Amino acid sequence: MMKMDALRSAFDHFIMIHNKYHKMFRDDAALQDSQDYCDSVNHEFRQFEETADWIHVASQLSEAAKNVVRDQHLATERVVDKVVHKTVNNEENTSVHTSVKKEDSSSVASFRSKSSSMASATARITAKKASLLAEAATLEEQHDLEHEELLLRQNNRALEIKVEIAKANEKSEFIQT
| Per-residue pLDDT reduced to its tens digit, 107-119 | 545 545 555 666 6
Q: Give the number of domains in the chain.
A: 1
For residue 137, give the amino acid letter. A
pTM to 2 decimals?
0.41
Average pLDDT score over residue span 118-141: 75
Average pLDDT score over residue span 99-114: 51
CA–CA distance, 34 with 32 (Å, rounded to integer)? 5
Judge whether 97 lies within some domain.
Answer: no
Judge whether 107 lies within some domain.
Answer: no
Question: DSSP letters along 66-134, please?
Answer: HHHHHHHHHHHHHHHHHHHHHHHHHHHHHHHT----HHHHHHHHHHHHHHHHHHHHHHHHHHHHHHHHH
Judge whether 105 lies within some domain.
Answer: no
Assign 1 to helix, strand or coil. Answer: coil
Task: Report the chain's mean pLDDT, rounded to a whole number.
Answer: 75
* pLDDT at residue 119, rounded to an integer: 65
Structural domain including 33 reads 2-92+115-176
Judge whether 102 lies within some domain.
Answer: no
